[in-house]
A and B are shown apart, each in its own frame.
Chain A
């Protein structure tokens, strides 16, 4: 098994963030931070050396998840995965993100996504099949899942 992932959670619903944290740690990874607003998220991005950020589009200060993704794109790390109930809000270029996990996701779907992302981060491209409920951005699709 390759090195566990350091994960940043950007989510304004405490319940969802809590449960997501449990699932991530159950899968053997580490949660390095939980941000509820875009400002918090940007600060944490700069302070932590996360591998993956799970970013909800709708945060406590509005639909600012895309700003967070843009900030992360400029700073060069970590990889962004959107987690949203409204995937249609994501722009064509995904603001540089890897892809999107559409809510409501299933526990199994999330576990498969974590496995897939771990492979993608540590030994790209991932060797597992693309998990259900996970949609890659066009840019990553060409590299991680060439047709």
Chain B
């Protein structure tokens, strides 16, 4: 059969290719290759410079050459200035190694126009393994390449736009952060100045009552300062740790009082409140602790103890400040400014405030709603 002959006597191809030899005329495979819409060529690596020995009509239509212009030539005439040298080198290596290759190449027609060629090249050997031909098919994939490039270009444009926007947002954030730091810095400095002014004024005053009044005022402002300092030192400026605040406040006030015979009993669960509640809660705690220190233990030699307990059962924050000192009767009455401060701030926090005479001493219990605690806040 002709097919067999083709394989055993490859020259038959050669004959059919360009010479329209008699043997090839009746070969259905040769006829199919001639007539297919797929562009195909065969080259002969045994001849000098591996020339084209067969090209079908599709190849001629695709490249614009006449058959007699290309038969006998190496197919590198398809390359041009824009053809990727690396891709060409790959093809060359495949030819040298006698292996097959599938690769996209930018090729040039006779008229100089370009097309993307999805080249498939494969060696044809005889039964003895001797390389006889290379068979190559060319598929015009210009459309696919074009859309690939468009997609790539779109992607690049899009990525560039995203990068640009990200840069803008980062710059905006940087400005915001710098502004926040500047404002924070000024607030802190101003608070420090207010404290300094009060202290300086207080030094010039000899009247004990006025001096005490200024000291109380200083303590309140310092409570505010401490809230601000702690809030902006923490990672999350939206939450305030009231237990830490209370712990520091008590040790600070006790150390300053120089009353070593007064001890503190702290029972503090870690509790955070939202930042907007930080100031009123801190002021209340400050008021209760300073009150206890000043009024409950007026006898400077008496031993005593101050207890602060904070807990948070079922969505509530409970603050208990107790002392075993002089008791309520000895305290300043209901009408003092400190008391009013506690009541008013309590109202703002929707808190229940309860004074209990525990004789000896006083216990004040503040119970306020404090939304569900978030994960990680609880011990």
* Known contacts A15-B197, A107-B195, A107-B218; A85/B189 CB under 8 A: yes
Q: Let me know if B251 is at the binding interface, CB within 8 A.
A: yes
Least distance between B198 CB and chain A CB atoms (Å): 9
Q: Let me know if A86 is at the binding interface, CB within 8 A.
A: yes
Q: Mark A128-142, 1 if CB is under 8 A from B, else 0.
A: 010111000000000
* Known contacts A22-B203, A85-B184, A86-B181; A108/B256 CB under 8 A: yes
Q: Let me know if B363 is at the binding interface, CB within 8 A.
A: no
Query: How far, in angstroms, from A85 to B228 measured CA to CA in the complex?
Result: 11
Q: Which residues of A contact B248 (CB under 8 A)?
A: 132-133
Least distance between A98 CB and chain B CB atoms (Å): 18
Q: Which of B185, B196, B252 meets A19, CB within 8 Å?
A: B196
- The reply to whether A133 and B229 contact each other, CB–CB distance below 8 Å, is yes
Least distance between A33 CB and chain B CB atoms (Å): 19
Question: What total of A-B pairs shows CB separation below 8 Å?
Answer: 82
- The reply to whether A102 and B218 contact each other, CB–CB distance below 8 Å, is no
Q: Which of B225, B233, B251 meets A87, CB within 8 Å?
A: B233
Q: Which residues of B contact A132 (CB under 8 A)?
A: 248, 251-252
Query: How far, in angstroms, from A58 to B189 measured CA to CA in the complex?
Result: 11
Q: Which of A58, A88, A104, A129 meets B195, CB within 8 Å?
A: A104
* Known contacts A23-B199, A85-B185, A108-B256; A15/B222 CB under 8 A: no
Q: Which residues of A contact B226 (CB under 8 A)?
A: 104, 106, 133
Q: Let me know if A28 is at the binding interface, CB within 8 A.
A: no
- The reply to whether B229 and A16 contact each other, CB–CB distance below 8 Å, is no
Q: Let me know if A124 is at the binding interface, CB within 8 A.
A: no
- The reply to whether A106 and B252 contact each other, CB–CB distance below 8 Å, is yes
For residues 80 through 129 of chain A, which have their beta carbon under 8 Å from a beta carbon of chain B? 85-88, 102-109, 111-112, 129
For residues 191 through 219 of chain B, which have their beta carbon under 8 Å from a beta carbon of chain A? 191-193, 195-197, 199-200, 203, 218
Q: Which of A19, A85, A111 has the most CB of B within 10 A?
A: A85
Least distance between A1 CB and chain B CB atoms (Å): 14
Q: Let me know if A13 is at the binding interface, CB within 8 A.
A: yes
Query: How far, in angstroms, from A106 to B252 measured CA to CA in the complex?
Result: 9
- The reply to whether A104 and B200 contact each other, CB–CB distance below 8 Å, is no
Query: How far, in angstroms, from A37 to B274 measured CA to CA in the complex?
Result: 40
Q: Which residues of B contact A15 (CB under 8 A)?
A: 193, 196-197, 200
Q: Which of B192, B218, B253 meets A105, CB within 8 Å?
A: B192
* Known contacts A13-B193, A22-B199, A85-B184; A107/B228 CB under 8 A: no
Q: Let me know if B188 is at the binding interface, CB within 8 A.
A: yes
Q: Which residues of B contact A85 (CB under 8 A)?
A: 184-185, 188-189, 192
Q: Which of B188, B199, B229 meets A107, CB within 8 Å?
A: B199
Q: Let me know if A18 is at the binding interface, CB within 8 A.
A: yes
Q: Which residues of B contact A86 (CB under 8 A)?
A: 181, 184-185, 188
- The reply to whether A108 and B255 contact each other, CB–CB distance below 8 Å, is yes
Q: Which interface class (under 10, 10 to 19, 20 to 34, 35 or more) fits B?
A: 20 to 34
Q: Which residues of B contact A88 (CB under 8 A)?
A: 181
* Known contacts A85-B189, A86-B185, A132-B251; A106/B196 CB under 8 A: no
For residues 119 through 172 of chain B, which have their beta carbon under 8 Å from a beta carbon of chain A? none
Query: How far, in angstroms, from A20 to B195 measured CA to CA in the complex?
Result: 11
Q: Which of B189, B197, B203, B233 has the most CB of A within 10 A?
A: B189
Q: Which of A13, A20, A23, A104 meets B225, CB within 8 Å?
A: A104
Query: How far, in angstroms, from A21 to B18 measured CA to CA in the complex?
Result: 108
The residue in chain A whose Cβ has the minimal distance to the Cβ of B193 is A15
Query: How far, in angstroms, from A86 to B193 measured CA to CA in the complex?
Result: 16
For residues 218 through 248 of chain B, which have their beta carbon under 8 Å from a beta carbon of chain A? 218, 222, 225-226, 228-229, 233, 248
The residue in chain A whose Cβ has the minimal distance to the Cβ of B218 is A107
Q: Which residues of A contact B189 (CB under 8 A)?
A: 13, 16, 85, 103-104
- The reply to whether A19 and B199 contact each other, CB–CB distance below 8 Å, is yes
The residue in chain A whose Cβ has the minimal distance to the Cβ of B195 is A104
Q: Which residues of A contact B233 (CB under 8 A)?
A: 87, 102
A–B pairs, 13, beta carbons within 8 Å: A15-B200, A22-B200, A86-B184, A87-B233, A102-B229, A104-B229, A105-B192, A107-B195, A108-B255, A129-B251, A132-B248, A132-B251, A133-B229
Q: CB within 8 Å of B: which residues of A?
A: 13, 15-16, 18-20, 22-23, 58, 85-88, 102-109, 111-112, 129, 131-133
Given known contacts A102-B229, A112-B252, what 13 new A-B pairs fall within 8 Å (CB)?
Answer: A15-B200, A16-B193, A19-B196, A88-B181, A103-B189, A104-B188, A104-B192, A104-B226, A107-B218, A107-B222, A107-B256, A111-B255, A133-B248
